Amino acid sequence: MSETKDFVAVVTGGAGFLGSHLCDYLLAQGHRVICLDNLLTGNVANIEHLAGNERFKFIKQDVTEFIYLPGPVDFVFHFASPASPIDYLELPIQTLKVGALGTHKALGLAKAKKAGFLLASTSETYGDPLVHPQPESYWGNVNPIGPRGVYDEAKRFAEAMTMAYHRFHGVNSHIVRIFNTYGPRMRPRDGRVVPAFISQALKNEPITVFGDGSQTRSFCYVADLIAGIFKLAMSSYHEPVNIGNPQEMTVRTFAEKIRTACGSTAPIIYRPLPVDDPKVRQPNIALARQLLGWEPKVGLDEGLARTIEYFRAMLVRGAL
C-alpha cells in the first residue's frame, strides 16, 4: 500500500494515549479515520479536538464484540487494550479478552474488508528477559500465571493469531513490539513511571521508586513511535519489529532527571519491587533501522519538556 494513497483506517483503542496520537498522525497524512473505543481506559478528551473533522468518526464499541462497519476499510490498526500495570491488575479478564477476542474480531474485519492490519504488541512479550538488549528473535521469559501474565500472554496470543491470519488467510499483517513510550495524553494515575514521577514531582510529593531503582528502562517519545509504526504498516514485512528508543537508564537516574526537570525538591523514596517486574528493558532496533530506515529523533530532554508542560497544565486545571 502506498503511503500517499488516501485510505480509510480503523483504529481500535483510538481514544487511548497511543491510539489518539495515531489518529492525529493518519489525519495529518490525509487519510480518513474511524476510531473504535469502549472508553474503558481511553478518554474522549484525547480526541475531542477532532470533533467536527469530516475525515474522522468516533464509534463507542467494545471490540471484543462483532465489528460491523459499512463501506470500505483499507487498514486496521489494533491498539485496543489496557496497557499499564494498574490497568491489567484491575482489569485482568478484560485484558485477556481484548488480546484474544478483540484481536480475533479486528483480524476478522481486516480479512472481510481485504484490508491491511497492524497489531500493537509490546516489549512485555519478552517478559523478564534473559537476553539484553532484546532482539525480535528472542522468545522471552514470561511467567504465564503471574499477575502480569494476563497482559504478557494476551499479547503473545495476539501475535500468534495475527501470524495465523497472515499465513492461513493471506491477511497483509504487521506486528510492532512497542517499548516504553511517553508523551502528552498519558493518564496521570496509570501506574507507569513517567506520569507517576512527573505528577509527584510537580506536586512536590515524594517520588516513589520500586525496588532499589537499579532496574533499567528505555523511553521513546510518542511522536517517534507513531512515525515508526506508520512506516512498518506501509512495509511488506510481516514478522514482529521492535520500535523504541535504545537509550537505556536506571529508574533511579530517570527519577532524578524528572525531579530536576520539574524543579522539585521532593525526596525519592523506595518501595518493594512488584512481582515479575522486568530488571532490564532495552530494544535492539537494528531491524527497524535496516528495514524501515527508522530511529528515534526526539531527545529525552526535549520529550520530557513537552510532557511536563502537558502535566503542568493538568495540575493548573486540578486534574492531577
Strands 56-60 and 75-78: unpaired
183-239 tens-digit pLDDT: 999 998 888 999 999 999 999 999 999 999 999 999 999 999 999 999 999 999 999
Between the alpha carbon of residue 37 and those of residues 13, 19, 61, 120, 178, the distances in Å are 5, 9, 5, 15, 20
Active site residue 25: no
Neighbours of 108 (CB within 10 A): 16
Res 318: pLDDT: 83
Residue 164 is classified by DSSP as H
Spans of all domains in the chain: 8-185+220-245+282-297
Asked if 110 and 102 count as a contact pair (C-beta separation under 8 A), the reply is no
Give the pLDDT confidence of 248-277 residue by residue, as tens digits: 999 999 999 999 999 999 999 999 988 878
Instruction: Write down the pLDDT at residue 129.
Output: 93
Predicted local confidence at residue 320, as pLDDT: 82
**CATH: 3.90.330.10, 3.20.20.80, 3.40.50.720, 3.40.50.970. Which one for 8-185+220-245+282-297?**
3.40.50.720
Burial class (CB in 10 A: 0-12, 13-18, 19+), 297: exposed
Positive/negative CA dihedral, 260, 261, 267, 268: negative
Q: What is the pLDDT of residue 145?
A: 96
**Ramachandran quadrant class, 276 (left: phi over 0; alpha: psi -120 to 50; beta: rest):** left
| pLDDT number for residue 189 | 86
The DSSP result for 100-155, as a single string, is: IIIHHHHHHHHHHHT-EEEEEEEGGGGBS-SSSSBPTT---B--TTSTTHHHHHHH
Strands (E), the chain: 8-12, 32-37, 56-60, 75-78, 116-122, 173-178, 181-182, 207-210, 216-218, 220-221, 240-243, 248-250, 268-271
**25, 88, 151, 221: the active-site residue:** 151
- Which sign, positive or negative, has the C-alpha torsion 223, 225, 227, 230? negative
> Which parts of the chain register pLDDT below 70?
1-4
pLDDT at res. 1: 47
> The whole model's pTM is what?
0.96
Contact 247, 183 (CB under 8 A): no
Grid coordinates representing 247? 537509550
pLDDT of residue 2: 47
